[in-house]
A and B are shown apart, each in its own frame.
Chain A
Amino acid sequence: EAGVAQSPRYKIIEKRQSVAFWCNPISGHATLYWYQQILGQGPKLLIQFQNNGVVDDSQLPKDRFSAERLKGVDSTLKIQPAKLEDSAVYLCASSLRQGANENEKLFFGSGTQLSVL
């Protein structure tokens, strides 16, 4: 099966600029996640979608980060304006979520490595 697709693979921007990342989950996967992974740390959840609705965005810095999944398939994550501390790998993941009480296996994309100068 095709995996989770992310683009771009790398992005370098200056602080205060804007940037957007794109994610296409595995076909049929209802749940989509955006994680931020800072160098030397584990992935940290930014936002979780179930179809096109937000389930959890409690750790999303909403003053500068936004995300959408309008048709319940593709998703975009935007940072505006970027700060130096936003330098990280941004991972998209998806899961099937067949059952409401199942912790489904996550499938990860290759990630977008962002460098803010």
Chain B
Amino acid sequence: AQRVTQPEKLLSVFKGAPVELKCNYSYSGSPELFWYVQYSRQRLQLLLRHISRESIKGFTADLNKGETSFHLKKPFAQEEDSAMYYCALSPVNSGNTPLVFGKGTRLSVIA
């Protein structure tokens, strides 16, 4: 069974400081990992996925299969980054297998 663990419920950082939101997963096969974000009073939306290897809003995430991690990083936090962040997993080439979400981390960026 797949499992996603986000160890921090709340992370507070000062504006301009680096940010790292931790995500660890448990899955015996090849996973596809995602980060979804929910800003205040907005819908849950995709932030980035590991296969795209892209940077979105300054955020990056690298899949580390050895450590089974997919931490989300940004070098300089902005106030508009304050939101709820969810890490999610789906098996690669699974066709119809749905996403499994972690419990989420609330990021608060302090001015």
Q: Chain B: how many interface residues by the 8 Å CB criterion?
A: 26
Query: In the bound complex, do residue B103 and residue A103 qualify as a contact, i.e. CB atoms below 8 Å apart?
Result: no
3 interchain residue pairs of minimum CB distance: A42-B101, A108-B44, A101-B93
In the complex, residue of chain A having the shortest beta-carbon distance to the beta carbon of B46: A105
A2-B26 Cα distance, complex, nearest whole Å: 35
In the complex, residue of chain B having the shortest beta-carbon distance to the beta carbon of A110: B43
B interface vs A, CB < 8 Å?
4, 6, 9, 32, 36, 43-46, 49, 86, 88, 90, 92-104
Within A7-62, the residues touching B (CB, 8 Å) are 31, 33, 40-45, 48, 50, 55-56
In the complex, residue of chain B having the shortest beta-carbon distance to the beta carbon of A55: B96
Known: A43-B44, A56-B96, A56-B98. 10 other contacts (CB 8 A): A31-B96, A33-B98, A50-B96, A55-B96, A56-B97, A101-B94, A101-B95, A103-B49, A103-B92, A105-B46
Chain A residues with CB under 8 Å of B96's CB are 31, 48, 50, 55-56, 97, 100
A19-B59 Cα distance, complex, nearest whole Å: 40
Query: In the bound complex, do residue A42 and residue B103 qualify as a contact, i.e. CB atoms below 8 Å apart?
Result: yes
Assuming the contacts A3-B43, A108-B43, A109-B43, asked whether A42 and B93 have C-beta atoms less than 8 A apart, the reply is: no
Assuming the contacts A91-B44, A103-B32, A108-B44, asked whether A43 and B101 have C-beta atoms less than 8 A apart, the reply is: yes
A106 at the interface (CB under 8 A from B): yes
Expressed in whole angstroms, the minimum distance between the Cβ of A38 and any Cβ of chain B is: 10
A83-B91 Cα distance, complex, nearest whole Å: 33
Chain A residues with CB under 8 Å of B97's CB are 56
Query: In the bound complex, do residue B99 and residue A45 qualify as a contact, i.e. CB atoms below 8 Å apart?
Result: yes
Expressed in whole angstroms, the minimum distance between the Cβ of A88 and any Cβ of chain B is: 14
